[in-house]
Amino acid sequence: MTIEALVPVPTDAVARAKVAARPTRRHDLVVGLLANTKRNAPELLRAVADLLREDLPGATVIGPVITAGVMLPSDEQLADLIERCDVVLTGLGDCGSCSATTLHVATGLEISGVPTAAICTEPFLASGSAMAVRRGIPGYEFVRVQHPVSSLEPDEIAERAREALPQILSILGVDVVKAAESREALVAGLDE
């Protein structure tokens, strides 16, 4: 008796894709929030955006835009975010399918030229990573927070946002820009 296993994904090699260039400034950025239909996704993204205001002076926040489809944004929603935003925060990957979908959307935005930080919970990192590989961006960095998020109360969501913030600053390159600004200020102070 022979058992045949079928794998429901193409076996062809995936072309490598590049992530978007990170911002070279941190002032006056337009930050898009793209929430899927997962419970607490908009609340988590809003909480993170509130924390980001200190690191992104003058930031304008768009959204949260709630995906038009089940976890997937419409072509119009994507086009609007790509046109208007300097960076995007997206999520929430809090189960297997929504984690893969979150990374599908995030990598699509990256390929379109918009730096994106996607948020997933720890049990579903493999699902998110597998989608990034499938999209041609192996090793794609995304935000990893404790599970769960969908069942949390507001104070617990705020804690997850604080957990996510340093990772978001790193993924979007804001920490590098901030460090460069600090060095420039230090050097300018020495020249005076």
Q: What pLDDT digit, counting tens, does each position of 84-129 carry? A: 999 999 999 898 889 999 999 999 999 999 999 999 999 999 999 9
Residue 16 forms part of a structural domain: no
- Cross-strand pairs, 118: 90
Q: Is position 24 within any domain? A: no
**CATH code at position 118:** 3.40.50
pLDDT at 191 over 80: no
**pLDDT tens for each residue of 9-47:** 555 567 889 999 999 999 999 999 999 999 999 999 999
Is-contact 105 90, C-beta < 8 A?
Answer: yes
- Look up the domain containing 155 and give its range: 30-191
Contacts of 165 (CB under 8 A, 6+ apart): 48, 51, 52
- Chain-wide mean pLDDT for the chain? 92
Residue 10 lies in a domain: no
Please state, for a pLDDT cut of 90, what percent of the chain lies above it. Answer: 78
* Number of structural domains in the chain: 1
Q: Does residue 103 sit within a domain?
A: yes
In the structure, what pLDDT confidence band is assigned to residue 5 with cuts at 50, 70 and 90? low
Query: Per the domain annotation, does 2 fall within a domain?
Result: no
**How many Å apart are CA 15 and CA 124, to the nearest integer?**
24
- The whole-model pTM stands at 0.89
- Each residue's pLDDT tens digit, 156-171: 999 999 999 999 999 9
H or E element, residue 183: helix 174-191
* Residue 17, domain member (yes or no): no
In a domain, 97, yes or no: yes
**Domain presence at residue 169:** yes
